[in-house]
Chain A
């Protein structure tokens, strides 16, 4: 029997709540210190998409993203959380503008970190031009915030993953934490198959999808800095750890990142499957990686030691 909700401490609730299953609101409520979230442009303001009505589609009062500020272990933090179940968490005009505004506010202040809880398939097709522009604006806003000294932390573990423009924005962040379910990529499985054929990528081969885009591979490649178990409490602890780890942002870091990516391409560019990459990386029995329990996987990933901590 699980204890009744009201008898549990916030940390216990966060520990027993799946990040993957939770709504964006529940994630933020449990990720931040209890009761500390103040939402900007909340649902009662009804800043809905100006486009969906034209397509006879239902709107959501927050346009699928919650932005605001709160406290993380007592320290202030800006937060944004996408709702992956509303239109696949996709970026539209209002959705994107809320995140851009949050990042610009963080840039002006300069010292408060930003946590972005990604859960997105990319740009919302019904407002494609506005959505594409939003992605560009957000990427610029992330880089400007980082240049002003802001740590921008991405957390990826939602049902829609982090695809399309979301994957590009994630690539701009200071650091990322990912769970096993947190797929990160630009083109999704079906998009690759549609454009390049089933021989290039079979989107129905779930094991292939997970080992190509899933959290474990992203962690081993160094694209994600931390691997988190799938509870909101694990993501909270990962966010705190990353805020502590992220170093200053500047030209040296960018050069190191360029070098890291060039080296990655040199070493793995000819590989046809993630298992080959893991094997070349020196992992014995690489084919067992997808089945490894979280604690064993984290120990392995830490031993391999590849992170982007000096780069990015």
Chain B
């Protein structure tokens, strides 16, 4: 297992008012993303625990692209990864931002 941590300054807060949301499942080639609205509007953070060791640079690139595209201000993402490919990671992150922007608690 490898733990990775990223913190970004972002230009705008994420949409919606929900406090938290979760998407995905921890399985081979899949991951879960727990997203919580707990940070200041101009920040976002991602904590990753991954079964695939040695892919820090790929994570950095995927997350940099995600933050640039979605500007998820105020959100903390906690990720348990079962060795998902970068496209699956991007998809789950996008789903998490979408879900926390929906109505609900």
Contacts and interface: CB of A to CB of B under 8 A. Distances in A.
Determine if chain A interacts with chain B: yes
Interface of A: 23, 25, 35, 43-44, 46, 53, 56-62, 83, 85-86
B81 A58 contact: yes
A61 B22 contact: yes
A60 B51 contact: no
Given A35-B104, A86-B27, A58 B22 contact: no
18 contacts: A23-B25, A25-B22, A43-B22, A44-B22, A56-B51, A57-B51, A58-B1, A58-B50, A58-B51, A58-B80, A59-B49, A60-B80, A61-B32, A61-B34, A62-B22, A85-B25, A86-B25, A86-B27
Interface string B78-105: 1011100000000000000000000010
B34 A58 contact: no
B36 interface: yes
Nearest to B103: A35
Contacts, number: 44
B1 A86 contact: no
A86 B1 CA distance: 17
Interface in B43-94: 49-51, 78, 80-82
Contacts of A61: 22, 32, 34, 78, 80
A259 to B, nearest CB: 43
A290 to B, nearest CB: 29
Given A56-B1, A58-B50, A85 B22 contact: no
Is chain A's binding surface mostly helix, strand, loop or mixed? loop
Interface of B: 1, 20, 22, 25-27, 30, 32, 34, 36, 49-51, 78, 80-82, 104
A58 B49 contact: yes
A216 to B, nearest CB: 28
Contact of A44 (B26, B36, B49): B36
Contacts of A46: 78
Contacts of A53: 1
Contacts of A57: 1, 51
Contact of A59 (B25, B36, B80): B80
A145 to B, nearest CB: 28
Nearest to B35: A44
A44 B81 CA distance: 16
Nearest to A66: B22
B77 to A, nearest CB: 12
Contacts of A62: 22
A82 B36 CA distance: 23
Nearest to A6: B102
B21 to A, nearest CB: 10
A124 B39 CA distance: 36
8 A-B pairs with the lowest CB-CB distances in the bound complex, closest first: A60-B26, A85-B27, A85-B25, A58-B51, A43-B22, A44-B20, A58-B80, A58-B26
